[in-house]
Amino acid sequence: MVGRDAGSMERGPGSELRARLRSLPAVEELAAALEREGAAHAPAVRAAREAIAARRAAIAAGSSDSAAGVEDDARALLTEWARPRLRPVVNATGVIVHTNLGRAPLPAAAIDAVREVARGYSNLEYDLDAGERGSRHVHVEELLRELTGAEAALAVNNCAAAVLLAAAALAEGRELVVSRGQLVEIGGSFRVPDVVARSGARLVEVGTTNRTRLSDYERALGPHTGAVLRAHQSNFRTVGFVSEVEIEPLSELAAAAGVPVIDDLGSGALAERVPELAEEPDVRRSVAAGCAVSCFSGDKLLGGPQAGVMVGTRAAIDRCRSHPLARAVRIDKLSLAALEATLRLYRDPRTAAREVPVLRMLTAGGAELRDRAELMRDRIAAAGVDARVIDASARVGGGALPLLELDGPVCAVDPGAIGLDELAGRLRRADPPVVGRAREGWLLLDPRTLDDEGAGLAAAAVVDAVG
């Protein structure tokens, strides 16, 4: 047996590994260095511990890493933790009401209103004239009555809550009649049958999946009927051998039987003179038909904040307002401020079309879109990246107008050697993050959901990503 001296043993792979691990700083030492640079104690200790642990694991796994750079790793962790989790994103997807990206961008007037209310106290539930407690609902009720022709109005935190509240207030413990073709599911697994169950009403299905007649409703109405619910097929359409009952004869039938109608319009359409909205159910038509409660979203095609808007008869809205569930789903002060400011813009259709971003994107002209697409192409191509302007179709999104295609020019970027997935990933990690869409191996940047500033940011992010 051949022995080895102590010196050769110290130079073995195990000893080298131990030496590299010992070279790592102590947590207290690294945390103190971070604190001297201005970091607070708790996050400094956490960053030091995680950076050292990550480097230790890498060394143990055979990495050639050493103590060099561990302090930078800790600083990077602190920077990442300091960055807000909810932050602005450049939407270059062409999907106007993009649920994953926050749905509708607010009008400037709504942003200003939120800022003013957020900076201090407000008369949220205080009657300044009477000097006593008031109601938060008065801030938008008059506007909604003016814009829709309804007797009364109420705003809650989203449209799903509005439908739930209406069903509970008008049909709890009784039957709620719904067409089988309207037992829909929208985003987030929100299903009409589940809403009916949570409201305490008993679901009564009428008609078939593709055809429901007025006579189907007539046979279902009886002494145990609490309400009829009509639900818009927000994110899909049935075509072919189909039929459904229009809101006017349905409301007339229900009124003759003394039964209220709840009309879930989904996004709904309040804007005037916008042909692109022709396929969305009109809020004023629903109200004029005599629906007890018509529900629609504030943050979809209305172009405002997340909210569920309820308009209808005084008696029905009062029942909704006084139901115990109303407090659980009430709208907050910031959303209320934004909703009021957005609704004020709708008093003048031309102002709304100009100032509400969703409407502006819907109606954007080809020349405007081409100028923006060419701006992106020119800036990207100047950096040596293959970019060109092609035609493509944008979408409304948000569960609205699923069949509407908004054709127009887009900027198409060839990802080259880095590949589409890597380019998209780098753009998502940019500051601000940029999200586009893919088509046949190209990255598309759609100018419909960008203003000039956003187009410039998108182009700059691409240049940085491939540089």
pLDDT in tens, the chain (467 residues): 344 444 444 455 577 788 888 889 999 999 999 999 999 999 999 999 999 999 999 888 887 777 788 999 999 999 999 999 999 999 999 999 999 999 999 999 999 999 999 999 999 999 999 999 999 999 999 999 999 999 999 999 999 999 999 999 999 999 999 999 998 876 666 788 888 888 999 999 999 989 999 999 999 999 999 999 999 887 777 788 888 999 999 999 999 999 999 999 999 999 988 999 988 999 999 999 999 999 999 999 999 999 999 999 999 999 999 999 999 999 999 999 999 999 999 999 999 999 999 999 999 999 999 999 999 999 999 999 999 999 999 999 887 888 789 999 999 999 999 999 999 999 999 999 999 999 999 999 999 999 999 999 999 999 999 97
- How far apart are the C-alpha atoms of 58 and 65, rounded to whole Å? 7
pLDDT for the residue 49: 97
Q: What angle do CA 5, 8, 11 make, to 5 degrees?
A: 150
- Which helix (H) or strand (E) covers residue 219, if one does? helix 214-220
- How far apart are the C-alpha atoms of 251 and 253, rounded to whole Å? 5
Q: What angle do CA 456, 459, 465 make, to 5 degrees?
A: 135
Whether the predicted model's global pTM rises above the 0.95 cut: no
- How far apart are the C-alpha atoms of 291 and 313, rounded to whole Å? 8
Check: CB of residue 215 under 8 Å from CB of residue 280: no
3-state secondary structure of 166: helix
Q: Which residues contact 290 (CB under 8 A, 6 or more apart)?
A: 251, 252, 255, 261, 313
Residue in 362, 357, 234, 235 with CA at minimum distance from that of residue 305: 357
Q: State residue 97 phi and psi, 5-degree precision.
A: -100, 75
SS3 content of the chain, % helix, strand, coil (to 5): 45, 15, 35
- How far apart are the C-alpha atoms of 454 and 193, rounded to whole Å? 41
Domains of the chain (ranges; CATH) run 13-81 (no CATH), 90-98+361-466 (3.90.1150.180), 108-355 (3.40.640.10)
CA 99 from centroid of its chain's CA atoms? 3
pLDDT for the residue 21: 85
